[in-house]
Structure 1
Amino acid sequence: MDRRLGAICLLAALPWSVAVAGTVTFVFPFALVDPNTGAITTIDAYYLRQTTVLPPFLQAWGIGVVLYLGAVASALAGRVLGREDRRVTDGLLLLAGLTQLSLAHGFARQPGRFAIPLGTVFCVAVVWWFDWSTVRAGVGLSSE
């Protein structure tokens, strides 16, 4: 596995947000984790079994996961099939990161709650580290 694909896959093991609402909850792509109790709520349990109607800022978590999985699939296809448009992968990663800003903004609008959007920083860092020149050229900002 190359370093870029490894870094993209590593994003699945990092908390995307730290939500604070009296207690701390780590928002991973696969689950919510309460470090105080060790309770884990998987993403499918959260969306399919425990909730019925979610505000848009909480839906952002699931949307971000879908975007992230698209980025993983794109990068993996590039590695396995030798065909990848890195702009697509990078765009999906950047959009996945932006969903965590939406989550943090939604939490911040409630009294005594906030979230730290680590996923935004992590996704942008991966794109910047491995593909910043590609992104610049893709949006017409090349240095030439």
Structure 2
Amino acid sequence: MVESEAFSTRTAAGRLLTLLVVGFLPWTIILVNGQFTFVFSFGLVNTNPFHLTNLYDYLTQFTLGLPRSLQAWPASTLLYIGALVSAATGFTGHEDERLTGGLLVFAGGAQFYLTVGLIASLGTRVFPLGMIALWTVAWWGYGPALKRIFRHDE
């Protein structure tokens, strides 16, 4: 294997691993009356009583009549999955870093919209870890590629 190919493979593996870690973090932590709800990419976890509502059940059973901002969570998960798939193409040398980074920026934006909506509707404490993590990975792993989107010299 050529040295640049090994570097490229290590870079792709590092980015993909980082993205996978982000997927297992709680994206939003909601504190209402001393009770925590953790919003993960795959579902909601309530602490009292302990219960997991997976994303599929949320979409098919619980979204009717909810504010639009609460529908941003599934959208951010879909954008995140797109970024994972795009990052995985880095192993074949076909990743478009602008696409991966852009999907992460938009996934973080959807989490921001969710956070603002939760604060407005519940008037509660909301901690947007997913937004911070998604935007940090976009900046750290894909910042130069994202900057190239707006430059006209290429």
Using the size of structure 2 for normalisation, the TM-score is: 0.83
Q: CA deviation at 1:141?
A: 9.3
- Which residue of 36, 39, 43 corresponds with 1:24? 36
Asked if the contact 1:104–1:114 (Cα under 8 Å) also holds between the matched residues in 2, the reply is: no
Residue deviations 1:56-82, cap 9 Å, x none? Answer: 100000100110111111111222x32
CA deviations on 1:5-50 (whole Å, 9 max, x unpaired) are: 1101111100111122322111000010113432111011111123
Query: 59-68 or 128-137: which moved more?
Result: 128-137
More deviation in 108-117 or 19-28? 108-117
Alignment match, 2:140: 129
5+ residue gaps, structure 1: none
Higher normalized helix content (fraction of residues): 2
Q: Distance in 2 between matches of 1:134 and 1:50?
A: 38
Contact 2:101 2:145 in 1 (8 A): no
Kindly tell me the number of residue pairs found equivalent between the two proteins. Answer: 141
What letter matches 2:82 in structure 1?
G
Report the more deviating stretch, 58-67 or 101-110: 101-110
- Partner in structure 2 of residue 103 of structure 1: 114
Runs of 4+ in 1 over 6 A off after TM superposition: none
Distance 1:112 1:82 in 2: 46
Could you tell me which runs of 5 or more consecutive residues in structure 2 were left unpaired when the two chains were aligned: 1-11
Instruction: Find the aligned partners of 2:143 and 2:40 in 1 and give their Cα distance.
Output: 25
Kindly name which structure, 1 or 2, has the bigger radius of gyration based on alpha carbons.
Answer: 2
Say which of 55, 64, 76 aligns to 1:52.
Answer: 64
User: Structure 2 vs 1, CA of residues 130 and 111 (structure 1 numbering), >3 Å: closer, same or farther?
Assistant: closer
The answer to whether the 8 Å contact 1:103/1:115 transfers is no
The answer to whether the aligner puts 1:138 opposite 2:138 as a matched pair is no
The residue that corresponds to 1:93 in the other structure is: 104
TM-score, with structure 1 as normaliser: 0.88
Provide the rounded CA distance (Å) in 2 between the counterparts of 1:4 and 1:140.
Answer: 24
Following the alignment from structure 2 to structure 1, what is the Cα–Cα distance between the partners of residues 130 and 16? 17
2:23 is aligned with 1:12: yes
2:37 aligned counterpart, secondary structure: strand
